[in-house]
Amino acid sequence: MDNILQITDTFIEENTLFPELISELKQSFSNNEVLVPLRHHHDFPNPEVNSDSTLLLMPAWKPSDIAGVKIVTVSPENSRYHLPAIQGTYIYFDALKGTIKAIIEAKALTVKRTAAASALASSFLSREDSNALLMIGTGALSINLIKAHAAVRPIETVYIWGRQFKKAQAIASQLKNETFAVHPIPTLEEKISKVDIISSATLSKTPLVLGKYLKPGQHIDLVGAYKPDMREADDDTIKKASVFIDTYQGGLKESGDIFIPLQSGVLKEKDIKADLFELCSNQKSGRKNIEEITLFKSVGHSLEDLTAATYYYNKFKNE
């Protein structure tokens, strides 16, 4: 047990290069070396805050090589305790011997791999000349999504909106030294039609991305709304867009953005264009033309966690 590495959020924050992590994810999604069972998803009540929390167990194995499991809780009311909604840890194993190689703090690992997956999808789905981004949400993911998207597209202008304008202002301040300009905005409607990429990472149960405001050629990146009763985009958005998901395994049923339109008939499973496995292995293509509206829905996948854990483990070992 003495040889188990402890990899902190601080190390991850200081040693992430999004182009590298995106490249690692692309490689992982392009082959079938990792076995990924369906993640465990358990909701449990917390009467004190009148809200459910969620326990997620996300395992993955590369036989005779590496394995890992992420244990995460999602508590939507954590803002009242001045804590992030996501808490957890990642246990990284030697798959052959079953020994633990590292324990990795999961908060930073999760937001980094999630943002990298969105940027990977954007590299297939957004227009190559996309230079304006709207970020909806001011949680831990927002800064990472902005930076990740800027790693694959020539982003010059970023607008950020949150339910609390002060949080949007704070994020703009944190990003003041980046190569792009960041502007907090008080209302969404004014900018939805003015940008090339819309990225949303919220726990909203009512749609924030409304199809009536969309324009041809946009790319929509939906990262929040991780439960079937949560939703970030409305039916009109789904009708107007070519829909892509991270994986069929979880993407079809874990989030209301896809689950609700499937249940109502607004979207049919056969209409979903591709997942990341198909895009990265060139089995299917992404954006077809400059006028197409594309939509990517991410619910997260254990392959992303194992890939990110390996990336950070190797960086830590090679210090």
Whether residue 133 is found in the same domain as residue 170: yes
Residue 287 near residue 125 (C-beta atoms within 8 A): yes
Whether residue 166 is found in the same domain as residue 308: no
Which domain does 80 fall in, by range? Answer: 5-109+303-317
Whether residue 128 is found in the same domain as residue 82: no
> 51: domain CATH number?
3.30.1780.10
Whether residue 245 is found in the same domain as residue 311: no
pLDDT in the model for residue 40: 85
- CA-based nearest residue to 257, from 158, 168, 136: 136
Q: 113-144, pLDDT tens digit by residue? A: 999 999 999 999 999 999 999 999 998 899 99
Whether residue 86 is found in the same domain as residue 29: yes
pLDDT in the model for residue 2: 63
Q: What is the mean predicted confidence (pLDDT) over 133-157?
A: 95
Domain total in the chain: 2
Q: Which of 12-26, 30-44, 117-131, 149-163 has the lowest mean pLDDT?
A: 30-44
Say how many residues make up the chain: 319
Q: 170-209, pLDDT tens digit by residue? A: 999 999 999 999 999 999 888 999 999 999 999 888 999 9
Whether residue 219 is found in the same domain as residue 98: no
pLDDT in the model for residue 1: 54
CA distance 247 to 47: 33
Average pLDDT of the chain to the nearest whole number = 92
Whether residue 101 is found in the same domain as residue 200: no
Whether residue 28 is found in the same domain as residue 161: no
